Amino acid sequence: MNEFWMMVIGLGMAFHGLLILWVGGLPRALTRGESPTAPPGTPEAFGLFWLDQYSYIGLVLTIVGLGLVSGGYLS
């Protein structure tokens, strides 16, 4: 029964993480080419910072969720 809940929670985490990545994309540090920049202290720089944080949250949720699913499947 424990494996079932690991898989359920993992699928939910992976789903939410993938939705975040769909909206926010990958973080700028992980993409190729020119990444947008803005002068420090501007509202645009603040927006880019939070978009990166949002993308990292989505990436972590996806990786941890898939790890839980595989852990529940292999147990």
33 lies in some domain: no
Owning domain of residue 16: 2-28+38-74
The rounded distance, in Å, linking the Cα atoms of 66 and 39 is: 37
Res 1 pLDDT > 70: no
CB 45 within 8 A of CB 38: yes
7 lies in some domain: yes
The rounded distance, in Å, linking the Cα atoms of 58 and 1 is: 27
61 lies in some domain: yes
Q: Which distant-in-sequence residues (6+ apart) come within 8 Å of 49 by Cβ? A: none
pLDDT tens for 17-56 read 999 999 999 999 888 888 888 999 999 999 999 999 999 9
Model confidence band, residue 74 (pLDDT cutoffs 50, 70, 90): confident
Considering the entire predicted model, what is its pTM? 0.88
8 lies in some domain: yes
Total domains in the chain come to 1
66 lies in some domain: yes
Per-residue tokens: 64: 């941890």
